[in-house]
A and B are shown apart, each in its own frame.
Chain A
Amino acid sequence: MRVLITGATTPLGAAIVRRLVAADDVEHVLEVGAEPGIADGPRRTYQRVDLGRPREVHDLLHGPVRDRGVDVVIHAALHRRATDEGAQVHASNVDATRALLLGCAELPAVRRFVFVSSAAVYAVRSRAPGLLDEDAALELDPGAPQWIRDRVEADLTVCARMGLERFGVIVLRCAELLEHASGSQLWDYLRSRVCLRPLGFDPMLNVLSLDDAADGIVLALRSQASGVYNLAGADTLPLSRLIARWGRRAVALPGPLLHPLYRLRRRATGLDFRYDLNRRRFHLGGIVDDARARRDLGYAPSHPIAWPR
């Protein structure tokens, strides 16, 4: 197996690469990231590519990917900072996904395309099920922040090619990866010693550990399955409990106050947490149902979060 992985410089990308390099049946891992500086090894090569530029994507696919005979592609690169918006971010999230997918169609060696999506694509509403399976409605509200809209568009872009390509396409909608430098809104939220939460609401949340996410993705690339799969984490708990387990103090305030307060915090500190991105799930929750991944992929989350206390 020869694997291309985008987003290789993120903690998740690095965890996947560690598993691939340790596997006997993986001949080579071609790692792609936006940052400089990962040393090549005997079975791994790093290439810096700006996926937001179509020419660089083209040259990657028709250069190293073709030359190495890559047969499995893991696309795990999405722009992480929620406060960044605009055409360039959209190009990195959506156009890059489309370009990679369509480019892979021109490479006969590619037999599998794994897209690492996010459970943030689901619409959280009071009418939505308590457990969101893969058939749950997606967040198609045009007023949603770009961070969500881009993820939905990239997800749907990949879903739209399912069954049309000669290679297997699989979309993994991961619960929130509670990990540093992974674009986790909750990670950023928990950086404050005092965490504000909406008064009168204590929704259930599910968080995913790095090891479970990486294991799930590796299972997906080894399986013959195609389609959409949710990956949930081993930790499901109320927001108040999550804050306490992280060693933070929760202060409940009326919901309408939280958006302006967190906007102020963002402006003052540069931290990335946006309450408008999280408002619905901080009121209503939203747990992904991973029954399909358990059944078809053999996925079973077994690595709880390493809680500080």
Chain B
Amino acid sequence: MVVSSQASAQTYAQEPSPEAIGSILVVDCGSSFTRVSLLERVESGYCFVAHAMVPTTAEPPWSDVSLGVRRAIEQLVGIIKRPLLDERATLYLPENRGKGVDLFVLTCSAGQPLQVVLAGLVNQISLSSLQRAAASSYVNVLGVIARDFVDENGGPEKDDSETIRRILSDVSLAEAEPLKTGAGLSDEDKIALIRQHRPDIVWVSGGTDGGSSEPVRDLVETVALACTLVDGSVRPAIVYAGNAELRSEIVELIGEEVELKVVDNVRPTLDTENLATARSAFQQAYVERKIQHLPGMADLVGWTSAPILSTAQALGYLVLYLERLYASGKGVLCADVGSANTVIATSLPPRTPTKAAGVSGDSTGILHTLQVGTGLGVGYGAPGLLERIGVERIGRWLPFDPEPGEVERVLLSKGVRPISVPEDRRELLIEQAAAREALRTVMEKTREMWRAAGGWGRTIPTLEPIIAGGGVLVHAPRPSQAVLMLLDAIEPVGITTFVLDPHGVAAALGATAVTQPFAAVQALDAGAFLSLGTVVAPVGRARPGDVVLRVKIEFEHDGGLEIEVKSGSLEMLPLRPGEKAVMELKPRRGISVGKIRGPVEVHGGAVGLVIDARGRPLRLPPDLDACRRLVQQWLWEMGA
């Protein structure tokens, strides 16, 4: 059975016209918390009215995700003092005589990750591409079947060995985290792998368009056979993303017994990568197979006029939209450190023409990356994070020596009680250390995508703004703690602004932008975000203690000051929310703060103006005592 890429059995509410939208209820169902926010139109656009947050109710004893949404809406009703739900606890839609809202937007990351097996010919080529496409959604790769066949169109034995080598060196993602390789598996092993894991989907890639055919056919045949041997109720579907010229044969070969979807070849030629449709298929599959099957989700689907998006997908839309809206020449980054997963979405402006092996780079040259660290979170994901990252790497961000087993106890317990909050400073710092490592891991993958895309090479793009969300950041007792976590993990360069998404509306606005861009653009300035401040991060070679930057600041109201910034230091200057200042930066020779001509206007925030002269990449001393002292010093310098 071949499934159309647009297939969906869900029925959505009718889409209202833009001018009819007076109020928007945005909801994000996360793994641990469900957040709802109300935005209402006033003369100048939308304004943020109120917010409520309750634990998500997808798991027993409730097992009904809509219950949490209704509880959150009830809480919101208690704040705004006007009815949103009728006597059957159904949302009034559209707003009528002060009851209900005009638009309901839902994003969700509470579903189980999509369980997949990836199959392809060459581990480092088509399978790496599949793996990169899979990283754009909540996906758990259960196993990899690799034939390790080198495409006959450009194998090393022929005349294209240079091309192969170049691609292998570009694909640093695969080198950083070896695939669960299934190279050399017998057909029986392949069948056993699929039967044992019972994935939701087996993805098959391999062969350039017009290239290898026989090995691809063999692979598909074995995969299809394995799928038919799985009980019908849990039989995996197959998504074919290989040699496009074989599509009709593949459809015939697989027949009716296994659900088949065909997407563009992820490697149409050896030196080009086309992930767009594969990514979209991964995201769609997650929504259709996981989110829409959450208990209680059917109720909510009826309230929304737009397709439900995963939180990561919606954040991807947001950064893409913002990059085009601001057109500042800088990139936009949105990070979400969640309970179960960590997501980083970026949109970078064109730098140089995208290389053929580019990861994304659409027709406008904009590089769009979306990286989901599935299972890398600081709630439900904390035990998995501990297992994958290790206690040493997390522990190095602590200013104290943890007791034996202390880090493990805190993080394993957090996995059991993901909504619990730390009551003492040690546990708080352990959670924040875990958040740094979750974010650093996903950020490193993002950088690899940038590098693989070409154009950016070793240069780190400047970002404006960096939007951050997720409980560990937005509920940090001091905003400066959130800033320090972001600085330590993202390591921005040049001048940037940090913005916090305290109510979890970023994803919902990304989802709104898909169908109601006008509403989304107005809602962006609705007051739902919190500016943390401006960050200046000079880069270049300098010895510790050398003056790397002279800064002259003229505050809008309170005079000015001049400071010298030394290499290795972290400075925090007061610049309150709503205040402006004019800053003149004089970097030392060999030090850069980006392309700046003349004085720069900067805006204040909850933290103010931060100058991070610790250098890039950030290096922690190998000696643990020195490392602890340095981490403590940074916490002091940031008042964190």
Chain A complexes with chain B: no
Residues of B that sit less than 8 Å from A by CB: none
Residues of A that sit less than 8 Å from B by CB: none
